[in-house]
Amino acid sequence: MADPLSPITGNIRTLHIVLGDQLNEDSSLWDGFDPSQDAALMAEVIEESLPSTTQQDNGLAISSKQRTLLFFSAMRHFAQQMTRNNIPLIYWDIPHTIVSLSDALQQTCEHCSPTNIKVVLPGDYRVYNALNSWAKRESRSIEWLEDTHFLAQKGEFKQWMSKRKKPIMEYWYRHLRQRKHLLMDNKKPEGGQWNFDADNRKSFGKAGPTNLPIPPTFSPDPITLQAQKDIEKHLSELPGTLEDLGIRI
């Protein structure tokens, strides 16, 4: 089991935290990244798959082996690509039994003392609040960056609703289309029609859909196979099975 901190031998300027659902090279996280001064942090944390009893009581669901494998495999492949791109990377894999992202961040900061910390806004307020709580406790500040995965900006829906009486999804959808100029012909929808919902409301009948295409299958590579072994060893209590998942990842 390799030491995740070994790639970093001294203090760094900025620590860039890469979340498991933000694995894209065109992220705003990489703006201004300097490999000679900065480093990236990724972590496979236990509570994201197997939350504590208290977290479960507060609505955080247990993951499955299949879902966790998808995340771990994607994260490890992205980490491999970053290493190939000569990006200094601290990667906590699941054998290190890091419980939370805050734990990984704490140990990393104790090792390399970053001056700045950057994170793209998480899609989950729980993660956002946990990192903010850590920063407050440690008297640190976090620079939150816009998540370009989403069409809407933070707070945009609230501002849009302030001028309306009812939250009707169709009008919100049209607002985003117009603001981003997606499939628009000046101020009108391209083709003259906003959507085709009325054409998609017929039922399949009791027999359900027929003539479905066979889903594509893929053989797992060594990275995925190792992630599968790690899950079976360290997260064996998760529900689900990975026995036949290798051909459908």
248 or 242, higher pLDDT: 242
Poorest-pLDDT segment among 10-14, 78-82, 238-242: 238-242
Q: Which two tokens stand for residue 117?
A: 């910390």
Which tens digits make up the pLDDT trace of 28-48?
999 999 999 999 999 999 999
| Residue range 201-220: mean pLDDT, rounded | 84
How many Å apart are CA 159 and CA 67, to the nearest integer?
A: 35
Whole-prediction pTM value? 0.84
Going across the sheet that includes 143-145, the strands are 89-92, 39-43, 14-17, 116-120, 143-145
Tell me, what amino acid is at 95?
A: P
